[in-house]
Chain A
Amino acid sequence: MTLEVAGKSFETDEEGYLANRDDWNKDVAEAMAKLDDCELSDNHWEVINFLREYYDEYQIAPAVRVLTKAIGKKLGADKGNSKYLYELFPYGPAKQACKYAGLPKPTGCV
């Protein structure tokens, strides 16, 4: 599959995850979100940027439980909970946010 952004096409897998992490930029994230009828707010970006930093550090996209805990540590308990994260990313915080962040699907996510 390919994703068209501003006249350029990007290779994705069958679920829309970016094939090459280096292809990622903010426009790609916006385009992916648009396909899901999702408008990216500062709160979305906070999670997306967190995931990109996490991946740089650990070379892995975290499972949802780990993401929730880590967000809580970094951004506070009012954000490190399932309710907050599911409101931002109704398709599943780890899955959906990782996709917009240009990361592979979290390990263990089926």
Chain B
Amino acid sequence: MSHPALAQQFTSDRTRAEWHDRSLWFVREKRDRMAHGVPEWELLREHASAIKLHTMSQLPHYLEQFEKNAAARGIIVHWAETADDHNRIVYEILQRHGVRRVVKSKSMLTEECHLNPFLEKRGMEVVDTDLGERIVQLRQEAPSHIVLPAIHIRKEEVGECFHEHLGTEKGASDPNYLTEAARNHLRERFCKADAGITGVNFAIAETGGFVVCTNEGNADLGVSLPKLHIACMGIEKLLPRASDLAVFLRLLARSATGQPITTYSSHFHGPREGCELHVVLVDNGRSSILQSPDFRRSLNCIRCGACMNTCPVYRRSGGHSYETTVPGPIGSILAPVREPEKHSSLPFACTLCGSCTDVCPVKIDLHHQLLAMRGHIDAKHLLPVSKKLSMKLVSAVLSRTWLYNTMGWLARVSLKWAPRFAVYNPLNGWGRQRELPIPPSATFRQMFAQRRAGRKSAESGAAAPVAREGSKSREGSQTGGQA
């Protein structure tokens, strides 16, 4: 289904859509307060953007530096060109260690590669240990947000889900009670796990180490008990220096959830004694984005989710309406870059308001990229035929002033004289919930010409009536009609 259809479905439950909007706006406001508390906020954004652009421009160099330094620390580094390669590599490592049960902290990369079903099909149990992720996993859904995976689910629904899967009391919806139940359930899984998988927030080229940020400590729990830790990362997660973290860690949590810093920022610098630590570097289309001047900057993304929280469309259409792992503004670039046919409606699920660009901590020019993506969709002949044809027609009309004047007259006259049922017909998408403008009896250019002519004749002594300025001459005025 296309975004408009799914969005309409979501808004049809107005109470839920309003609640969803308010929940995310709350996070956006928290982010604003936090950003206001950092006087050098805009400078930090500049720095972060510059560091990312530099890193991307030298990506092969920094990746090799990372590999070398990580290997020196005893970390085993793997390279995966595609999602399939990634899944296969992870599976082979697990298989070699005879792993049956895996605990996994939040990793959008493994979602992107659909690692869970891949491992489950091969007989392994994968438990997502982030609370939100566990909720959507139990409900057999995809996350609807990259930072707040279960933001679309109300606590009463979590209660139902936990009642069914974890045996909590029927009808219970107290967040403390439900969290406690999840905690006990997850503790048991942590203790039994044979391996822990995590994502990576930042990998550091000069040290060969990496950082995982969580609020629940689930990444740390998941990798501290088992003897095997596999960390999966997109190749764009790299930073050149450890000191760069001083910029990014300050931006990440403030942008994501309006916290000064995540509760846990865990630095991994090698395997524990007697254990193995693997890092899988995944490309999966990233190097082709890197080659595209229009969309290269999208690789700056640190997956904070701020663009989702601020997007007025995302907040009212829900993450699932995008049908992508990463939804919202950034997802509406990343998905159609890879699969334009499948995601051609996403760049249009946007009013080009630019709020995403202004919240982005790494200054991705999101709304300009979305506009550019629309051009790419057209160039690939993926626009709906009706849209393309109407734009051709409108362009032909607007290119000829006389035709524009004629068609404008025709539109105003037909709007004036056509009966209401004909104007507000089922095909009139504008008119379903809105009135059309009331057609005035004259255009601006007619009024202006009349006024100038009146003036001239007044100057030459003739007594022609002169329309007075602005609001006094508003014949056929409609905007003030409700006063």
A and B from one complex:
no
List B residues at the A interface (Cβ < 8 Å).
none
List A residues at the B interface (Cβ < 8 Å).
none
